[in-house]
Structure 1
Amino acid sequence: MAAKPKPQAGPDPAEYTTAAKPKAYADGVPVFCAHDAIVPISELRPNPRNPNQHPPEQIKLLGSIIRATGWRDNITVSTRSGLIVKGHGRLMAAELYDLKEAPVDYQEYTSEAEELADLTADNRLAELAHTDNRMLADLFVDIDTGEIPFMLSGYTEEDYGNIVAALSEALHDQQEADGDDGGTGDDDVGEDGTEGSKDARRMAQAGDLWIINDKERRVEPGLLDHIKATAGTARIIIVEVAPRLADATLEEITKATGPAGVRCVRQGRELAPAAVADLLAPDEEGGGQE
């Protein structure tokens, strides 16, 4: 089995600094979030009843993100108790990186019960969210990891590979459930009236992110129809496919739609336009690249 895809190697997180214009600075770190004051870390008091646990790897990652992109969230302090309500992890990250100041938002609470409810809701509401892995993989394609460190997304390279591999496996399982042996499949009519395989229609309905796994040796007609219908904006991720097969897929797509706007992501790294052009250029005998 081919290695899991990895994002393109970008700048070192320790050397990356955002160039965006901040509202203020806290100990030299840019502050972009709303805040009432820049407060010394030594004056901030965690709530001893905080039930939210923060593992070391989370704190380290959070600290790296704050140092690289600045304070994008503040630390919320209750005016009633003087204790932190939201941002215990951010405080720990700041302490880990020896930061001396942090942006603070002071908030009013009617009672201890109201304050404690907000304390527990802070992490719980985030836990209830569900991540759409197809949309997440689509976002990964648009994160230029040659420009910024991939870890600023909050995901590791291993996470990236697992998500893309899981999408490919899910498609493979669905193909087997539909009785698709990886060949032509049963022709059907999509919602836009174009003909294509059931898999092609299903993926088109899921959005413009297409997953082509190692069972497919050619481009389904439904995929080409969808690319044409969406003015060539459909995005394609090819996983566990030999480079030669990926190049063949690109060749089929560009024959149908033209080379303009074609993007190629290989092992998590988006190739430069010149590299894509080289892949699509005919060889000396007039054929496609091997």
Structure 2
Amino acid sequence: MTSPLEAAVGDYLNHVRAERGLSANTVAAYRRDLASYVDFLAARGIDDAADVTAVEVSEFVRQFTAGRATSSVARHVASVRTFHQFALDEALTTTNPAADVSPPRLGQRLPKALTIDQVTRMLEAPDRDTPDGLRDAALLELLYGTGARVSEVCGLDVDDVTVALTDPDAGLRLLGKGNKERMVPLGSYARSAVDAYLVRARTGLARAGSGSPALLLNQRGGRLSRQSAWAAIKRAAAAAGITEEVSPHSLRHSFATHLLDGGADLRVVQELLGHSSVATTQIYTLVTIEHLREVHAAAHPRAR
């Protein structure tokens, strides 16, 4: 039997998915976070949000903090706080017991950008004489050429790129977080890689499937998953001889950093990345300043 607390959590998850337009991955993360919170409260005999006090919320945070990464704790606290605010807004409770509970302070982590030489080696790594290699080349060129998220590129359909391939001034439409659309330029290298994949590889890959509209296909003819795209990025990094850690966002970080290094305006980079706030984009200015410090320290006789 579903408890009042579980029912309230279910209503909250439906709310963030339908009303706030959060992605399926974000909703899934909220569901996992709140499941551990519900279990914690159930062990204390609490099955209704109205019975939760600040004491239980604080104790949950204290217990959950032990041995876990700060970022994980911060996300759980945020999930609990927004759930209780939803319960208050919906008149399921008369107070928000999590209102004064703050997440731990996150240390500022600078995104790791690859050098232009490393990116170039990665882009040249796929074997363009094979269907998978042509697809991986298109994937990598799209990621670095547009600054798109992996999920955004995997979500593209063939129809999404048709105009951009024939008209260089048209741009490519990307669907980002919260179903927010943005247009980004599609450079000649990306256009060439995508065109080669469409002409020489996609038809063959599509034969194994049932007519998926997806641009990037796997060997079964279905849409390429984020996990498979991540595997392709790792393969390219290994083939390029890159020994440091490469993340799914590495090409996106490199795109932004190289643009700012080249003199691009911060607001332009914000629009290209699809950030709702320029404050999110400003982290990349710290990366370029750090790069300047490294160059200065290595090249100037009085820098040390």
TM-score tier, shorter chain, comes to: under 0.3
Structure holding more strand per residue: 1
What TM-score do you get using the length of structure 1 for normalisation?
Answer: 0.27
Structure holding more helix per residue: 2
What TM-score do you get using the length of structure 2 for normalisation?
Answer: 0.26
Larger Rg over CA atoms: 1
